[in-house]
Protein backbone atom coordinates (compact mmCIF):
# COMPACT_ATOMS: atom_id res chain seq x y z
CA UNK A 1 0.00 0.00 0.00
CA UNK A 2 1.19 3.51 -0.82
CA UNK A 3 -1.36 5.07 1.54
CA UNK A 4 -0.08 8.23 3.22
CA UNK A 5 0.05 8.28 7.01
CA UNK A 6 0.68 10.76 9.80
CA UNK A 7 2.70 9.68 12.82
CA UNK A 8 2.37 11.64 16.07
CA UNK A 9 5.19 10.87 18.49
CA UNK A 10 8.77 10.12 17.50
CA UNK A 11 10.12 8.45 20.60
CA UNK A 12 12.00 5.19 20.18
CA UNK A 13 8.86 3.40 18.95
CA UNK A 14 7.24 6.22 16.93
CA UNK A 15 10.51 6.73 15.08
CA UNK A 16 10.71 3.00 14.23
CA UNK A 17 7.09 3.10 12.98
CA UNK A 18 7.73 6.20 10.84
CA UNK A 19 10.88 4.67 9.32
CA UNK A 20 8.94 1.49 8.47
CA UNK A 21 6.20 3.48 6.66
CA UNK A 22 8.87 5.45 4.77
CA UNK A 23 10.77 2.28 3.84
CA UNK A 24 7.53 0.87 2.44
CA UNK A 25 7.21 3.94 0.24
CA UNK A 26 4.23 5.48 2.07
CA UNK A 27 4.22 9.29 2.19
CA UNK A 28 4.69 10.01 5.91
CA UNK A 29 4.00 13.21 7.80
CA UNK A 30 5.49 13.33 11.28
CA UNK A 31 5.15 15.47 14.38
CA UNK A 32 6.93 15.34 17.73
CA UNK A 33 6.84 17.65 20.76
CA UNK A 34 10.62 17.98 20.53
CA UNK A 35 10.75 19.13 16.91
CA UNK A 36 14.39 18.15 16.32
CA UNK A 37 13.36 14.49 16.19
CA UNK A 38 11.00 15.25 13.28
CA UNK A 39 13.62 17.28 11.40
CA UNK A 40 15.97 14.32 11.63
CA UNK A 41 13.46 12.12 9.80
CA UNK A 42 13.15 14.44 6.79
CA UNK A 43 16.45 13.00 5.54
CA UNK A 44 14.52 9.72 5.18
CA UNK A 45 11.77 11.40 3.19
CA UNK A 46 9.34 12.35 5.96
CA UNK A 47 7.42 15.61 5.90
CA UNK A 48 7.92 17.38 9.23
CA UNK A 49 4.71 19.14 10.26
CA UNK A 50 5.08 22.46 12.03
CA UNK A 51 2.19 21.76 14.40
CA UNK A 52 -0.13 18.98 15.54
CA UNK A 53 -2.91 20.59 13.48
CA UNK A 54 -0.76 20.55 10.34
CA UNK A 55 0.17 16.89 10.97
CA UNK A 56 -3.41 15.78 11.60
CA UNK A 57 -4.89 17.56 8.58
CA UNK A 58 -2.20 16.21 6.24
CA UNK A 59 -3.64 12.68 6.06
CA UNK A 60 -6.66 10.47 6.55
CA UNK A 61 -4.80 8.06 8.86
CA UNK A 62 -3.30 9.44 12.07
CA UNK A 63 -1.10 6.94 13.94
CA UNK A 64 -0.40 7.98 17.53
CA UNK A 65 2.48 6.58 19.62
CA UNK A 66 3.07 8.72 22.69
CA UNK A 67 4.05 8.13 26.31
CA UNK A 68 0.56 7.36 27.67
CA UNK A 69 -3.16 8.03 27.10
CA UNK A 70 -3.03 11.27 29.12
CA UNK A 71 -0.44 12.57 26.67
CA UNK A 72 -2.53 11.45 23.70
CA UNK A 73 -5.59 13.32 25.01
CA UNK A 74 -3.52 16.41 25.82
CA UNK A 75 -1.98 16.37 22.33
CA UNK A 76 -5.24 15.82 20.41
CA UNK A 77 -7.55 18.04 22.50
CA UNK A 78 -6.51 21.31 20.76
CA UNK A 79 -7.09 19.76 17.29
CA UNK A 80 -10.33 17.94 18.17
CA UNK A 81 -12.29 19.76 15.43
CA UNK A 82 -9.73 18.73 12.79
CA UNK A 83 -10.17 15.01 13.56
CA UNK A 84 -13.67 14.78 12.03
CA UNK A 85 -13.73 12.28 9.16
CA UNK A 86 -10.23 10.94 9.89
CA UNK A 87 -9.09 7.67 11.44
CA UNK A 88 -7.09 7.79 14.66
CA UNK A 89 -4.99 4.66 15.22
CA UNK A 90 -3.72 4.81 18.80
CA UNK A 91 -0.76 2.49 19.37
CA UNK A 92 0.12 3.97 22.78
CA UNK A 93 0.28 1.44 25.62
CA UNK A 94 -2.66 1.67 28.02
CA UNK A 95 -5.47 -0.16 29.79
CA UNK A 96 -8.75 -1.45 28.29
CA UNK A 97 -10.73 1.20 30.21
CA UNK A 98 -8.50 3.93 28.78
CA UNK A 99 -9.10 2.52 25.29
CA UNK A 100 -12.89 2.57 25.87
CA UNK A 101 -12.71 6.17 27.05
CA UNK A 102 -10.49 7.30 24.15
CA UNK A 103 -12.78 5.53 21.65
CA UNK A 104 -15.84 7.29 23.08
CA UNK A 105 -14.16 10.69 22.85
CA UNK A 106 -12.70 10.24 19.34
CA UNK A 107 -15.85 8.74 17.80
CA UNK A 108 -17.86 11.50 19.51
CA UNK A 109 -15.82 13.97 17.44
CA UNK A 110 -17.00 12.28 14.23
CA UNK A 111 -13.73 10.41 13.66
CA UNK A 112 -13.06 6.68 13.41
CA UNK A 113 -10.95 4.98 16.06
CA UNK A 114 -8.78 1.86 16.22
CA UNK A 115 -6.91 0.91 19.36
CA UNK A 116 -3.69 -1.04 19.02
CA UNK A 117 -1.01 -2.79 21.02
CA UNK A 118 2.48 -3.11 19.58
CA UNK A 119 4.02 -6.54 20.17
CA UNK A 120 7.53 -5.53 19.16
CA UNK A 121 10.45 -3.48 20.35
CA UNK A 122 11.95 -0.81 18.07
CA UNK A 123 14.64 -3.27 16.88
CA UNK A 124 12.04 -5.85 15.77
CA UNK A 125 9.68 -3.42 14.00
CA UNK A 126 9.37 -4.43 10.33
CA UNK A 127 10.68 -7.95 11.00
CA UNK A 128 8.52 -11.06 10.39
CA UNK A 129 8.02 -11.73 14.13
CA UNK A 130 6.57 -8.30 14.93
CA UNK A 131 2.81 -7.89 15.19
CA UNK A 132 0.32 -5.27 16.28
CA UNK A 133 -3.00 -6.12 17.92
CA UNK A 134 -6.02 -4.09 16.79
CA UNK A 135 -9.52 -3.66 18.10
CA UNK A 136 -12.43 -1.48 16.96
CA UNK A 137 -14.90 -1.54 14.07
CA UNK A 138 -13.99 -4.34 11.65
CA UNK A 139 -14.89 -2.25 8.59
CA UNK A 140 -12.47 0.49 9.67
CA UNK A 141 -9.74 -2.09 10.32
CA UNK A 142 -10.26 -3.76 6.94
CA UNK A 143 -10.28 -0.41 5.13
CA UNK A 144 -6.89 0.58 6.55
CA UNK A 145 -5.25 -2.78 7.16
CA UNK A 146 -2.91 -2.64 4.16
CA UNK A 147 -1.83 0.89 5.08
CA UNK A 148 -0.96 -0.18 8.63
CA UNK A 149 1.04 -3.34 7.97
CA UNK A 150 4.44 -1.85 7.06
CA UNK A 151 5.77 -1.82 10.67
CA UNK A 152 4.26 -5.17 11.67
CA UNK A 153 1.64 -7.76 10.76
CA UNK A 154 -1.84 -6.69 11.90
CA UNK A 155 -3.85 -9.05 14.11
CA UNK A 156 -7.50 -8.07 14.51
CA UNK A 157 -9.15 -9.09 17.80
CA UNK A 158 -12.69 -7.76 17.60
CA UNK A 159 -15.05 -4.79 17.82
CA UNK A 160 -14.61 -4.32 21.59
CA UNK A 161 -12.18 -1.36 21.70
CA UNK A 162 -10.55 -2.65 24.90
CA UNK A 163 -9.46 -6.03 23.52
CA UNK A 164 -6.13 -4.90 22.00
CA UNK A 165 -5.00 -3.33 25.29
CA UNK A 166 -6.28 -6.30 27.28
CA UNK A 167 -4.42 -8.86 25.15
CA UNK A 168 -1.33 -6.64 24.96
CA UNK A 169 -1.11 -6.48 28.78
CA UNK A 170 -1.99 -10.17 29.17
CA UNK A 171 0.80 -11.09 26.72
CA UNK A 172 3.23 -8.89 28.64
CA UNK A 173 2.13 -10.50 31.91
CA UNK A 174 2.81 -14.00 30.58
CA UNK A 175 6.13 -12.86 29.16
CA UNK A 176 7.31 -11.01 32.27
CA UNK A 177 6.50 -13.89 34.60
CA UNK A 178 8.28 -16.29 32.27
CA UNK A 179 11.28 -13.95 32.13
CA UNK A 180 11.44 -13.70 35.93
CA UNK A 181 11.08 -17.49 36.11
CA UNK A 182 14.07 -17.81 33.79
CA UNK A 183 16.06 -15.39 35.97
CA UNK A 184 15.11 -17.24 39.17
CA UNK A 185 16.31 -20.47 37.55
CA UNK A 186 19.51 -18.71 36.47
CA UNK A 187 20.12 -17.67 40.09
CA UNK A 188 19.68 -21.32 41.12
CA UNK A 189 21.86 -22.71 38.31
CA UNK A 190 24.74 -20.35 39.10
CA UNK A 191 24.63 -21.03 42.85
CA UNK A 192 27.18 -23.81 42.41
CA UNK A 193 30.62 -23.37 40.89
CA UNK A 194 29.91 -25.86 38.08
CA UNK A 195 26.66 -24.25 36.95
CA UNK A 196 26.45 -21.57 34.24
CA UNK A 197 23.63 -19.36 33.02
CA UNK A 198 24.53 -20.23 29.43
CA UNK A 199 24.35 -23.98 29.98
CA UNK A 200 21.12 -23.60 31.91
CA UNK A 201 19.57 -21.34 29.25
CA UNK A 202 20.37 -23.79 26.46
CA UNK A 203 18.44 -26.53 28.28
CA UNK A 204 15.67 -24.14 29.33
CA UNK A 205 14.98 -23.21 25.71
CA UNK A 206 14.52 -26.92 24.81
CA UNK A 207 12.38 -27.51 27.88
CA UNK A 208 10.21 -24.44 27.26
CA UNK A 209 9.71 -25.35 23.60
CA UNK A 210 8.20 -28.67 24.63
CA UNK A 211 6.05 -27.00 27.30
CA UNK A 212 4.94 -24.15 25.01
CA UNK A 213 3.56 -26.80 22.65
CA UNK A 214 1.10 -27.77 25.42
CA UNK A 215 -0.19 -24.20 25.98
CA UNK A 216 -2.89 -24.31 23.24
CA UNK A 217 -4.34 -27.50 24.76
CA UNK A 218 -4.48 -25.88 28.22
CA UNK A 219 -6.13 -22.82 26.63
CA UNK A 220 -8.72 -25.09 24.98
CA UNK A 221 -9.40 -26.62 28.42
CA UNK A 222 -9.99 -23.13 29.88
CA UNK A 223 -12.43 -22.15 27.10
CA UNK A 224 -14.26 -25.52 27.31
CA UNK A 225 -14.58 -25.13 31.09
CA UNK A 226 -16.02 -21.60 30.70
CA UNK A 227 -18.45 -22.65 27.98
CA UNK A 228 -19.73 -26.01 29.16
CA UNK A 229 -17.88 -27.13 32.30
CA UNK A 230 -16.11 -29.84 30.29
CA UNK A 231 -13.33 -31.49 32.37
CA UNK A 232 -9.76 -30.62 31.37
CA UNK A 233 -7.60 -32.84 29.13
CA UNK A 234 -4.37 -31.59 30.73
CA UNK A 235 -4.19 -32.06 34.50
CA UNK A 236 -1.77 -33.23 37.14
CA UNK A 237 -2.17 -34.46 40.71
CA UNK A 238 -1.98 -31.61 43.20
CA UNK A 239 0.11 -33.81 45.54
CA UNK A 240 2.75 -34.15 42.80
CA UNK A 241 2.67 -30.37 42.24
CA UNK A 242 2.97 -29.65 45.97
CA UNK A 243 5.96 -31.96 46.31
CA UNK A 244 7.68 -30.68 43.15
CA UNK A 245 7.25 -26.99 43.89
CA UNK A 246 8.23 -27.70 47.51
CA UNK A 247 11.51 -29.16 46.25
CA UNK A 248 12.23 -26.07 44.13
CA UNK A 249 11.57 -23.82 47.12
CA UNK A 250 13.73 -25.95 49.46
CA UNK A 251 16.61 -26.17 46.96
CA UNK A 252 16.41 -22.40 46.39
CA UNK A 253 16.59 -21.67 50.11
CA UNK A 254 19.50 -24.09 50.53
CA UNK A 255 21.31 -22.26 47.71
CA UNK A 256 20.63 -18.89 49.30
CA UNK A 257 18.30 -17.91 46.42
CA UNK A 258 15.15 -15.87 47.16
CA UNK A 259 11.98 -17.86 46.47
CA UNK A 260 9.87 -14.71 45.90
CA UNK A 261 9.21 -15.25 42.15
CA UNK A 262 7.80 -18.71 42.83
CA UNK A 263 5.98 -18.06 46.12
CA UNK A 264 2.73 -16.91 44.44
CA UNK A 265 2.68 -20.11 42.37
CA UNK A 266 3.07 -22.25 45.52
CA UNK A 267 0.35 -20.21 47.22
CA UNK A 268 -1.93 -21.00 44.27
CA UNK A 269 -1.26 -24.73 44.47
CA UNK A 270 -1.78 -24.71 48.25
CA UNK A 271 -4.99 -22.73 47.80
CA UNK A 272 -6.39 -25.32 45.40
CA UNK A 273 -5.46 -28.09 47.85
CA UNK A 274 -7.11 -26.18 50.72
CA UNK A 275 -10.27 -25.85 48.59
CA UNK A 276 -10.41 -29.64 48.37
CA UNK A 277 -9.23 -30.02 44.75
CA UNK A 278 -7.01 -32.97 43.96
CA UNK A 279 -5.95 -31.91 40.45
CA UNK A 280 -3.95 -29.01 39.09
CA UNK A 281 -5.36 -27.81 35.75
CA UNK A 282 -5.44 -24.63 33.71
CA UNK A 283 -9.18 -24.05 34.32
CA UNK A 284 -8.83 -24.64 38.10
CA UNK A 285 -6.03 -22.07 38.35
CA UNK A 286 -7.82 -19.53 36.13
CA UNK A 287 -11.01 -19.85 38.21
CA UNK A 288 -8.91 -19.37 41.35
CA UNK A 289 -7.26 -16.23 39.89
CA UNK A 290 -10.69 -14.82 38.97
CA UNK A 291 -12.04 -15.55 42.45
CA UNK A 292 -14.70 -17.92 41.06
P1 LIG B 1 9.82 7.24 24.37
O2 LIG B 1 10.02 7.63 25.79
O3 LIG B 1 11.01 6.95 23.52
O4 LIG B 1 8.97 8.38 23.62
C5 LIG B 1 7.88 9.03 24.27
C6 LIG B 1 7.18 9.91 23.27
O7 LIG B 1 6.11 10.59 23.94
C8 LIG B 1 8.08 10.99 22.67
O9 LIG B 1 7.64 11.25 21.35
C10 LIG B 1 7.77 12.16 23.60
O11 LIG B 1 8.06 13.42 23.00
C12 LIG B 1 6.28 11.99 23.77
N13 LIG B 1 5.77 12.73 24.91
C14 LIG B 1 5.98 12.47 26.23
N15 LIG B 1 5.32 13.35 26.99
C16 LIG B 1 4.67 14.21 26.13
C17 LIG B 1 3.81 15.33 26.30
N18 LIG B 1 3.47 15.76 27.52
N19 LIG B 1 3.34 15.93 25.19
C20 LIG B 1 3.68 15.50 23.95
N21 LIG B 1 4.48 14.42 23.73
C22 LIG B 1 4.98 13.81 24.80
O23 LIG B 1 8.82 6.01 24.39
P24 LIG B 1 8.57 4.89 23.27
O25 LIG B 1 8.60 5.51 21.92
O26 LIG B 1 9.45 3.73 23.55
O27 LIG B 1 7.10 4.45 23.65
C28 LIG B 1 5.94 5.09 23.11
C29 LIG B 1 4.77 4.16 23.30
O30 LIG B 1 5.01 2.94 22.61
C31 LIG B 1 4.52 3.81 24.78
O32 LIG B 1 3.15 3.75 25.02
C33 LIG B 1 5.15 2.45 24.88
O34 LIG B 1 4.58 1.67 25.92
C35 LIG B 1 4.83 1.86 23.51
N36 LIG B 1 5.71 0.74 23.19
C37 LIG B 1 7.06 0.86 23.26
C38 LIG B 1 7.88 -0.24 23.07
C39 LIG B 1 9.37 -0.14 23.16
O40 LIG B 1 10.03 -1.19 23.19
N41 LIG B 1 9.95 1.06 23.19
C42 LIG B 1 7.30 -1.57 22.81
C43 LIG B 1 5.87 -1.58 22.64
C44 LIG B 1 5.12 -0.47 22.86
P45 LIG B 1 9.50 14.11 23.22
O46 LIG B 1 10.41 13.49 22.20
O47 LIG B 1 9.24 15.55 22.97
O48 LIG B 1 9.94 13.82 24.63
C-alpha 36, offset from chain centre: 29
Decide whether any atom of ligand 1 lies within 6 Å of the 75 Cβ: yes
Decide whether any atom of ligand 1 lies within 6 Å of the 10 Cβ: yes
CA angle 7, 107, 55 (to 5 degrees): 25
Cβ partners under 8 Å of residue 20, min gap 6: 125, 126, 150, 151, 152
| Domains located in the chain, CATH noted | 5-165 (3.40.50.720), 214-292 (no CATH)
Decide whether any atom of ligand 1 lies within 6 Å of the 146 Cβ: no
Looking at residue 31, its pLDDT comes to: 98
pLDDT tens-digit profile of 25-78? 999 999 999 999 999 999 999 999 999 999 999 999 999 999 999 999 999 999
Mean pLDDT for all residues in the chain: 97
The answer to whether the CB of 120 falls within 8 A of the CB of 131 is yes
Looking at residue 1, its pLDDT comes to: 78
Task: Tell me the CA–centroid distance for residue 93 and ligand 1, in Å.
Answer: 9
Residue of 173, 203, 172, 210 lying closest to 185 (CA atoms): 203
Whole-prediction pTM value? 0.93
| Shortest-distance Cα residue to atom 14 of ligand 1 | 67
Q: What share of the chain is helix, strand, coil (3-state, %, to 5)?
A: 55, 15, 30
pLDDT tens-digit profile of 203-253? 999 999 999 999 999 999 999 999 999 999 999 999 999 999 999 999 999
Is the predicted pLDDT of residue 104 greater than 90, yes or no?
A: yes
pLDDT tens-digit profile of 131-183? 999 999 999 999 999 999 999 999 999 999 999 999 999 999 999 999 999 99
Decide whether any atom of ligand 1 lies within 6 Å of the 12 Cβ: yes
Looking at residue 194, its pLDDT comes to: 97
Measure the CA–CA gap between 200 and 189, rounded to whole angstroms.
7
Distances (CA, A) of 65 to 15, 61, 62, 70, 252: 9, 13, 10, 12, 42
Amino acid sequence: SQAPVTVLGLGAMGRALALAFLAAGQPTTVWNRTAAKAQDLTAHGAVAAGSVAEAVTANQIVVVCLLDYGTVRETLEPVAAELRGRTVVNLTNGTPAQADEMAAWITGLGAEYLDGGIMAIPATVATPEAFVLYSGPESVFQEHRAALEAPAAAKYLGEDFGLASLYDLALLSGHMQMLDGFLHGAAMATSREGGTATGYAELLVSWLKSMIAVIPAIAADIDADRKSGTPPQIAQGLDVQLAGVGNILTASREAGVDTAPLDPYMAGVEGLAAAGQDLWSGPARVRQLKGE
